[in-house]
Amino acid sequence: GGPSAPCTDTALICIKFPRITAVPTVTGDTAHFSHLIISECAVHALPAKAFKAFPGVSDLLVEESNVTTVDKDAFVGLAQVVRLVLTDNLISVLHKDTFKPLKYTLQFLLIRQNSLSQLHPETFLGLSQLVILDLGLNQLTQLPTGIFADQYNMLTLEIDGNPLK
């Protein structure tokens, strides 16, 4: 098991817990958690099925936690995530299938202020519900042709603060 953290009726909240170095685990029924917030912790990696204990989460925030790696299967088991916030971390690479488990529900994807220097053309493939995508303040020098080919519902794309050519 991982570290423990405070809970409310619908949320597991970990803010400013530098000793939390992994996604927390919770004993008992976790289906009622709709929010998981990990902020200002020391979670350096999101391994495969990192959030399997929280199948009902619709709002997932992992921000300012020094995350450097996100396994391609980190979000496997999450079928209800609407908002995913990975801002202000140190993520430099995303596998093309990272967000596939979220393809039917994800509407808001914020990956602002990380270290992404390139994206695979299929990174966002199938995310047909995506409305807002924030890739600002990364190290992107180009966006692959067709990377947003099936984002028919996207209203906002933030790419400010990237050294795009």
Highest mean pLDDT range out of 22-36, 42-56, 78-92?
78-92
Can you read off the two tokens belonging to residue 93?
């690479």
Residue indicated by tokens 């099936």: 150
**The pLDDT of residue 3 is above 80:** no
Q: Cα 133 vs. chain centroid, distance in angstroms?
A: 11
Taking only the tens place, the pLDDT of each residue in 55-82 is 999 999 999 999 999 999 999 999 999 9
| Least trusted range by pLDDT, from 11-25, 41-55, 122-136 | 11-25
Residue-level pLDDT at 8: 57
Taking only the tens place, the pLDDT of each residue in 138-150 is 999 999 999 999 9
**Reduced to 3 states, what is the DSSP secondary structure of residue 100?**
helix
Strand bridging mode 35-39 / 45-46: unpaired
> pTM for this one?
0.92
Taking only the tens place, the pLDDT of each residue in 109-164 is 999 999 999 999 999 999 999 999 999 999 999 999 999 999 999 999 999 999 99
Residue-level pLDDT at 128: 94
Can you read off the two tokens belonging to residue 152?
């028919």
Using CA of residue 135, residue 158, residue 151, residue 142, what is the dihedral sign? negative
| Angstrom distance (rounded) from CA 164 to CA 138 | 10
Q: Sorting pLDDT into bands at 50, 70 and 90, what band is 32? A: confident
| Angstrom distance (rounded) from CA 109 to CA 131 | 8
| Count of CB atoms situated within 10 Å of the CB of 109 | 22
Query: CA of 61: how far to CAs of 11, 58, 147, in Å?
Result: 11, 10, 24
How large is the average pLDDT for residues 95-115?
Answer: 97
Does residue 1 or residue 67 have the better pLDDT? 67
